[in-house]
Structure 1
Amino acid sequence: MNLSSRPRRPASSRPIATDEGSFTVSNHNEPTPAAAEQPVFSVIGADIVVTGNIEASVDLHIDGRVEGDVRCKTLILGEASMIIGNVSADRVRAAGAVTGSIDTNDLAIEASARVSGDVLYERIRVTNGAQIDGSLKCKSGAAALKTRRGKAGEA
């Protein structure tokens, strides 16, 4: 597997196989003040196919194909990217294809994106031309509805 990082991670910060088909990307070294100022992200290139789950403690940019679940801080999906599995991230910008659910706080779906699966979000932006085949559910809307139902039941 070819995971590259910008800026380059130290040799002690390699992907770690956690179980069959799963990888964790983390940096075990304490960052220096100069390194702490630079954003750290990993890239899965267009010529890469990952079979198995990915869990990253850093931002992740995917241009290739992932057959498995993806969990990270921020996920950027390039136009040629494809994920067959579930996505969980604080922020997602999708320009490629996702077949599976997306659970995020901040979602941007670009015109070239194709999403087949349920989407759970806090904030969403969908560009004209994007395709979504599945349900869209707002996290704050679900919480507000539960709160209103609870108060109505108390009265």
Structure 2
Amino acid sequence: MSAIIEILKNAFRKGMFVIPKEVSVQGAIESPIPGRIDGTVRGDVRTDGLLTIGNTAIIRGNVYATDLIHFGKVYGDIFITNKAVISNKAYIKGDVTALILELEEEAVIEGAIRKHVNDLENAVPLDTEPEPDLPMPVEEEKPTSWF
């Protein structure tokens, strides 16, 4: 529990954007700095670093961040490249993709949960095509688990 308290202390430091509960945003939010949302957002939210979604927040769009602490409601998919902490008050209607997922007991997720694995060694650039004379290699899918 002390890890969450430390993360929350960092969530209120300078150099972060804050959308208070009285504010409603129509459109996407893109930020190179971490932030906190307590208001309503209709659009995707993209941020580098930690994104905190407060218990009064409602987001109708996809969420992209490095780390996430989630207490509110999200109607869309969530993509986290590192750690996502979903509290017992949180509601998500969409899929959650994260490298590390900490899920409290009464949290509600109406969607799939996926583990995001950075596998850069086997990644193929999108602009390359396989040579027509060579057969495509068959790779076995390796199961991943949080446990």
- TM-score norm. by structure 1 comes to 0.67
Q: Deviations over 1:10-46 (max 9, x none)?
A: xxxxxxxxxxxxxxxxxxxxxxxxxxxx751010000
* RMSD of aligned residue pairs (Cα, Å): 2.1
Match among 123, 128, 148 for residue 100 of structure 2: 123
Once the two structures are superposed, residues 95-151 of structure 1 have per-residue CA deviations (whole angstroms, 9 ceiling, x without a partner) of: 0000000000210000110000011110000011110000001012x95xx99x616
The SS at the match of 1:150 is: coil
Counterpart among 88, 101, 106 of residue 77 in structure 2: 101
2:52 is the alignment partner of 1:63: no
Runs of 5+ consecutive residues of structure 2 not aligned to the other structure: 1-12, 124-137, 142-147
Which structure has the highest helix share of the two? 1
Structure 1: 5+ residue stretches without partners: 1-37
The residue identity in structure 1 corresponding to 2:68 is: V
Which residue does the alignment assign to 1:136? 113
- What is the Cα deviation at residue 70 of structure 1? 0.2
Q: Give the number of the structure whose residues are more often strand, by fraction.
A: 1
- 1:53 equivalenced with 2:28 (yes/no): yes
1:78 has 2:67 as partner: no
Distance (whole Å) between structure 1 residues aligned to residue 54 and residue 28 of structure 2: 19
**1:76 match: secondary structure:** strand
SS in 1 for 2:52: strand
Q: Report the counterpart of residue 114 of structure 1 in structure 2.
A: 91
Distance 2:55 2:140 in 1: 45
Residue identity over aligned pairs, in percent, reads: 31
- C-alpha distance in 1, partners of 2:140/2:102? 31
Q: Distance in 1 between matches of 2:15 and 2:87?
A: 23
